[in-house]
Structure 1
Amino acid sequence: MAIDSQTGAEMLCVRNLHAFYGESHVLHGVDLVVNQGEVVTILGRNGAGRSTTLKSIMGLIDHRSGSITINGIETIAFQSDKVARCGVGYCPEERGIFASLSCEENLLLPPKIAAGGMDLAEIYKVFPNLSERRSSRGTLLSGGEQQMLAIARILRTGAKLLLLDEISEGLAPVIVQSLARMIRLLREKGFTVLMVEQNFRFAAPLADRFYVMEGGRVIETFTSAQLTSKMEMLHEFLGV
């Protein structure tokens, strides 16, 4: 079943990952690999453990075990700030925009963690909407603009591994198309992306590889070239 891509250097490796919320055992031995320059998508129903996997990688779940290596560094015992300094940027599902700050103030808020982050001119070229709205308060941004801001914010930091949680959720189709163009551009610029998505139509043309989760476990993994042959399985598990 496992088909871990062998192209490119291994940027993220998760092995036998278990995670708990209190006494609730949520992840049951998750294995996944993301190689440098790849876009990888985790598919699954709500409650499958997809977001918990991202939070565990980011160090936001206290009770976890197994192995998480980022660029060869074991990070399973790291707090989230130390994980970030390994070059990881996390865009949570709830976006976390500060309502009282302007768009540009939100953008400048996170610290730089590594060299090579985008400057404001580059970010505004990728996200022209944010340039137009740079002085607007967070409360006045549309849902799509907030999502763009949440992603743009981590591009300044120098992070090269991006963890994106349901970035297309609840957005108009035209905004989703803009996000798809953005993902393609980030791949061209050398970023590595691990996405959690329920919107299969958004994720399918973007990802190099897919993991399918159910009940806190990876039940299937396949490449974009195998997508057509996996449609029956995806229909069964995801209703696509």
Structure 2
Amino acid sequence: MTLNMAAVTVDLVLLTIRQADLRVLLIRRGIPPFEGRWALPGGFVHDDEDLDEAAIRELREETGIDPSAGHLEQLATYGTPGRDPRGRVVTVAYLALLPDLPAPVAGSDAAHAEWRPIDEPDLAFDHHRILADGVERARAKLEYTPLATAFCPPEFTVADLRLVYEKVWHTTLDPRNFHRKVTSADDFIEPTGHSATRERGRPAQLFRRGPATLLHPPLLRP
């Protein structure tokens, strides 16, 4: 496809905790340019849709994933000349934080879709830059918002939540200190009255996300 004027696309950075690690959803491109290379899901914005609608449509078409399962927000806009060999293309990137989901189903112009490590080399276009920006946004937002719970199921243990912080921040946190911080943050999480059975030790108390939109006090990275 050759473009004679500027075009607008959307790209999606979808992050989840899968196989005890932070993963990003990538598609293997089935068409030129960069055919056969890993890339972020995305595509061109139709004339009759806004950006959010385009992001949701591309996500469903290329992966079969419903974005309502987690958190979706606009990340940034990228328009460096030459970023797309087909012509002048400006892309609006979105960031989604999702709980562990079944394997995605490729569709549209994607030959294959898969949850991949966030350090996947040699991505198509400038997607390495977009991915890096998305990961840093997620790391920062975990400090001052309750969005870490977007990686969790509706009911979760404090240990489940700590795993999210450890994997996203790529660090190890003291369990007791972490438990004290998250349970003392105003309206961050609230008990469900249920517990989860573990192989060893006492049953673990289950929590759900509370009504807070900002963490007070914040949880700062080590």
Relative to the length of structure 2, the TM-score reads 0.23
**Which structure has the higher relative contact order (CA within 8 Å, separation 6+)?**
1
Relative to the length of structure 1, the TM-score reads 0.22
Structure with larger Rg:
2
Specify which structure has the higher proportion of helix.
Answer: 1
